[in-house]
Amino acid sequence: MKSAFFMSTTLRLILGDQLNSQHPWLENIDPSVTYVMMEMRQETDYVVHHLQKIVGFFLAMRQFAKQLQEQGHQVIYYCLDDPENRQDLSSQIQYLIQKESFSTFEYQYPDEYRLEQQLQSICQELDIPSHAVDSHHFLTSRGFLKDFFKGKKSYLMETFYREMRRKYQVLMVGNEPLGGQWNFDQENRKPLKEKGLLQAPGLHPKSVGNILDQLSRAGVKTLGSLDPEAFAWPSSRKESLDLLHHFCRHLLPNFGTYQDAMTTWDPYLFHSRLSFSLNCKMISPLEVVQAAEKAWSTQQDKISLAQVEGFIRQILGWREYMRGIYWAEMPRFATLNYFGHERNLPSWFWTGKTKMNCLNHSITQSLTHAYAHHIQRLMVTGNFALLAGIHPDEVDAWYLGIYIDAIQWVEITNTRGMSQFADGGIVGTKPYTSSANYIKKQGNYCSTCAYDADKKVGDRACPFNSLYWHFHVRHREKLEKNPRIGMVYRTWDKMTAKQEVLEQAESYLQRLEEL
């Protein structure tokens, strides 16, 4: 996909997660500027990605490039099988600059540290001037969070969230929160007990057979599955806005109440499924937040304040907070392993073939849809990996590959930080662990499981129960003084069957592949 050049002197790079049609670069048609986009083996191969993730990126990139061309911008687009595609960002930029004699190279700040380092290295090697600009997507600068908490012992999300609410005047009356409280999290934890509340997903199925053929011919290794006639994730700004409208109209009224619910009935429940659109920058976080706030203000008979606050907290608070931590703590964050965990991820994480129904369902759903909501990720797959002592590198690679919305800046902070506590408390104030009781309370997984959620030891005892106690015992020295965990150890000290529980856990840890 190439357009003719008209005295182009500046080459501008647009990465696959920079599909922001509202970017200042694109406000005017400049014949001296050529935009380049590229599908590269560098990006398909640095981790094993879900098939839907690669297809989603390529389809959205192609539609974005086509849109730019139709608007009159000069565009060079390298498909994966283009004969001139060097499959590497450094080689491709060097090749293109030499071939077309560009006199200036420009790029938007990337969101991943590895690409930041690579682009800085490229620019150092170029014989022409280079320049970087902001991506004009996030609501804070890269360094805002680190500066905001300068001199503090930790980054507290709630403090950051309140600052963002004040700064953007979201759900506020002056400097005070609407409803008199900042956070309705206590109201956002109910299990779903009525199938009839579920709504149609509002997606846009489309054919992607041509991209699948290209990936197959290239031999790109992937995981998961995809119906070539029914790829359903948004691939344009219009489709993303349609999905946002659908969410605000049909799903937001129940989002907050059931955002932590887990069920075999439906993979999406009341979640927006906007994370891929947001992370590719097809839509902006501010317009998503403002759309949700407007929906609440015009439908207060249907949407309670708790519903909209729970959603806005995810975007305005958590998403921006995680990005701030990423840039404050990289690259060392990617090396942290607070508990010294070393076990390998069981092979059934790649197939879903385990007798534990919660894991079977959550993993199979992820392989089928490239999606699981935050509680499935945190309290099922992540919880198990933490209790089982899986090396955080392995956990990171799995999460980064399997989910369509996984880009390192948001994946690694959630996985190595929030989920695995491998950062020792930079992201969260305690490890997020649970026995089977939480999983049973939040959904219907346990009702049809081969294991008994109520048993700690013996035949059919749920692995989560003994592994939960084993984890806390083996890491007591690191965790006992944490004020949010003290009750765990007081309960353990009063238990009478300690040895049986630990032996049960050891048995399971020795045969993780069989669980």
Please give the order of strands across the beta sheet that includes 10-13.
Answer: 74-78, 33-38, 10-13, 104-108, 130-133
Considering the domain architecture, whether residues 127 and 188 belong to the same structural domain is answered as no
Considering the domain architecture, whether residues 255 and 175 belong to the same structural domain is answered as yes
Task: Tell me the C-alpha to C-alpha distance, in Å, between residue 170 and each of 162, 173, 252, 299, 313.
Answer: 10, 9, 16, 17, 10
Domain that holds residue 216: 144-329
Number of domains in the chain: 3
Please report how many Cα atoms fall inside a 13 Å half-sphere around the Cα of residue 49, on the Cβ side.
21
Of 34, 42, 373, 16, give the one whose Cα is nearest residue 192.
373
Q: Specify the CATH number for the domain of residue 448.
A: 1.10.579.10
State the greatest distance between any 2 C-alpha atoms of the chain, in Å, as a whole number.
81
Determine, yes or no, domain membership for 167.
yes
Determine, yes or no, domain membership for 340.
no
Which residue type, as a one-letter code, is found at position 78? Y
Of 133, 153, 174, which residue constitutes the final position of a domain? 133
Q: Which residues contact 498 (CB under 8 A, 6 or more apart)?
A: 469, 492
How many Å apart are CA 506 and CA 473, to the nearest integer? 12
How many Å apart are CA 33 and CA 36, to the nearest integer? 10
On the question of a cis peptide bond just before residue 331, with omega within 30 degrees of 0, the verdict is yes
Alpha helices in 266-420 (DSSP H): 275-279, 285-298, 305-312, 320-329, 357-369, 374-376, 383-388, 392-402, 408-412
Predicted TM-score (pTM) of the model is 0.94
Helix (H), strand (E) at residue 106: strand 104-108
Determine, yes or no, domain membership for 84.
yes
Considering the domain architecture, whether residues 368 and 496 belong to the same structural domain is answered as yes
- Given a contact cutoff of 8 angstroms between Cβ atoms, the answer to whether 130 and 120 are in contact is no
> What does the CA dihedral 248, 174, 143, 424 come to, rounded to 10 degrees?
-80
Considering the domain architecture, whether residues 497 and 382 belong to the same structural domain is answered as yes
Considering the domain architecture, whether residues 259 and 373 belong to the same structural domain is answered as no
**Other C-beta atoms lying within 10 Å of the C-beta of residue 205:** 11
Would you give the end-to-end CA distance of the chain in angstroms? Answer: 49
Q: Supply the DSSP symbol for 258.
A: H
How many Å apart are CA 94 and CA 100, to the nearest integer? 10
Determine, yes or no, domain membership for 306.
yes
Of 75, 110, 133, which residue constitutes the final position of a domain? 133
Of 114, 133, 152, which residue constitutes the final position of a domain? 133
Determine, yes or no, domain membership for 1.
no
Pairing of strands 172-173, 176-177: antiparallel
How many Å apart are CA 264 and CA 271, to the nearest integer? 15
Q: What b/e sequence results for 220-249 when a residue is b if at least 16 CB atoms lie within 10 Å of its CB, and e otherwise?
A: bebbbebeeeebbbbbbbebbbebbebbbe
Task: Please spell the DSSP secondary structure of 54-100, one letter per residue.
Answer: HHHHHHHHHHHHHHHHHHT-EEEEE-TT-TT--SSHHHHHHHHHHHH
Q: Specify the CATH number for the domain of residue 100.
A: 3.40.50.620
Determine, yes or no, domain membership for 3.
no
Considering the domain architecture, whether residues 291 and 148 belong to the same structural domain is answered as yes
Determine, yes or no, domain membership for 249.
yes
Sign of the alpha-carbon dihedral angle for 384, 386, 390, 395: positive
Q: Average pLDDT for consecutive 10-residue bins of the chain (515 residues)?
A: 60 98 96 96 97 97 97 96 95 95 96 97 95 97 94 89 96 92 82 82 85 95 94 95 94 91 92 96 97 93 91 96 97 97 97 97 97 96 98 97 97 96 94 94 94 95 97 95 91 92 96 95
Considering the domain architecture, whether residues 407 and 322 belong to the same structural domain is answered as no
**Tell me, what's the pLDDT at 3?**
45
Considering the domain architecture, whether residues 178 and 312 belong to the same structural domain is answered as yes
Considering the domain architecture, whether residues 380 and 414 belong to the same structural domain is answered as yes
Of 67, 79, 77, give the one whose Cα is nearest residue 236.
67
Considering the domain architecture, whether residues 115 and 28 belong to the same structural domain is answered as yes
**Tell me, what's the pLDDT at 98?**
93
Q: Is 180 left (phi over 0), alpha (psi -120 to 50) or beta?
A: left
**Tell me, what's the pLDDT at 7?**
60
**Tell me, what's the pLDDT at 420?**
97
- Given a contact cutoff of 8 angstroms between Cβ atoms, the answer to whether 268 and 201 are in contact is yes
Considering the domain architecture, whether residues 502 and 384 belong to the same structural domain is answered as yes
Which residues sit opposite 443 in a β-bridge? Answer: 262
Determine, yes or no, domain membership for 214.
yes
Q: Supply the DSSP symbol for 107.
A: E
Q: Is 212 exposed, middle or buried (0-12, 13-18, 19+ CB in 10 A)?
A: middle
Considering the domain architecture, whether residues 300 and 364 belong to the same structural domain is answered as no
Q: Specify the CATH number for the domain of residue 289.
A: 1.25.40.80
Strands (E) across 208-316 are located at 222-223
